[in-house]
Amino acid sequence: MQMEPSWRFDTPGPLPIEAVRAFDTLIDKVVAQGNRWSMLEHFKGHFGGSGGSSSESWAESDLNMLIRQTAENAPLFIEAFYEACEALRGEGSVAVPDVGRMNRILREHSVGYEIRPPELIAVGLHQPIAVPERYQSLDEQAQEIVQKSLLQSEKLLAEGHPRQAVQEILWLMESVVTAFKGLSTGESTIAEKYFNKIAKELQAKKKGQTIEQVLAWLTTLHGYLSSPTGGGVRHGVDLKSGITIDADEGRLYCNLIRSYVTFLMAEHERMSRGIHEQRV
């Protein structure tokens, strides 16, 4: 099965236990159709087992252990189940669940992946918010910085490092806000130099506009993620009361910030275009 290569080496997150149970129920229905011991060994092989078990009961016990271990990496679990079923489908000796049935389990339990043979793709919460490939108001060097940061954040998420992923994209959001320095707001220009002060200045000069509310949201998020008792991604984490960002929270924060960055860059382009039109 084709998937994001990094998922094979670092888990992007475990399969929810309810989904594991649902797939296990399907395995029970499949193995009941033929030689149960042989079928259990078949699934064992696809879930990483080697060698045969000494009895049917041991085969079942060994498979259950392998299932629990493989479930620590959701994509690899899905791949193992899918390929075990496809191998049996090719033999034509037993009925196996189709891709639609597998995807239904993934959807019902909000797993965040979908099988689209021959690929396994991230969807929903695990899918990154789309962003433009280019921002017209940025020069080539700035374009490269933005795209590299977005890619690095996604890479860190895929490799199972949500805190570092959030830290990377939070830095990008700060950088995008500082890009507003020197832009005209109509009657004056943005004079401040640093993230928080630029955000406050923009809010004051964009009263009643969407950007005022967006800046309020992102500064609140920025403060929470920066705080030692919040996300702890900028000033260290409080070892007694701080939180640990897990994979789902990491995706949530990264997607929120990606959406803010996309909106801010559209606003940056609009304001830059206004300056150009005034000069013309």
Helix (H, G, I), strand (E, B) or coil at 82: helix
Do 247 and 157 contact (CB within 8 A), yes or no?
yes
Q: How far is CA 142 from the centre of its chain?
A: 24
What pLDDT is recorded for position 274? 63
Using alpha carbons, select from 250, 248, 176 the residue that is nearest to residue 15: 248
CB-based contacts of 245: which residues, under 8 Å, 6+ apart? 162, 163, 166, 231, 233, 253
CB-based contacts of 133: which residues, under 8 Å, 6+ apart? 147
pLDDT per 10-residue tile (average), the chain, 280 residues: 88 91 97 95 95 94 96 96 96 93 92 91 70 66 84 80 90 91 84 90 90 92 86 69 75 89 88 59
Using alpha carbons, select from 197, 190, 125, 205 the residue that is nearest to residue 157: 125
What pLDDT is recorded for position 279? 47
Backbone φ/ψ region at 164: left (φ over 0), alpha (ψ -120 to 50), beta: alpha
Q: Give residue-wise pLDDT tens across range 76-126.
A: 999 999 999 999 999 988 999 999 999 999 999 989 899 999 999 888 656
CA gap 111, 222 in Å, rounded:
28
CA gap 280, 274 in Å, rounded:
10
What pLDDT is recorded for position 271? 85
What pLDDT is recorded for position 280? 43
Is the pTM of the predicted complex or chain greater than 0.85? Answer: no
CA gap 129, 127 in Å, rounded:
7
Do 45 and 52 contact (CB within 8 A), yes or no?
no
User: For 4, what's the count of Cα atoms within 13 Å in the CB-facing half-sphere?
Assistant: 23
Distances (CA, A) of 270 to 102, 183, 276, 280: 45, 10, 10, 15
Lookup: tokens for 217: 């949201």
Lookup: tokens for 176: 């995008």
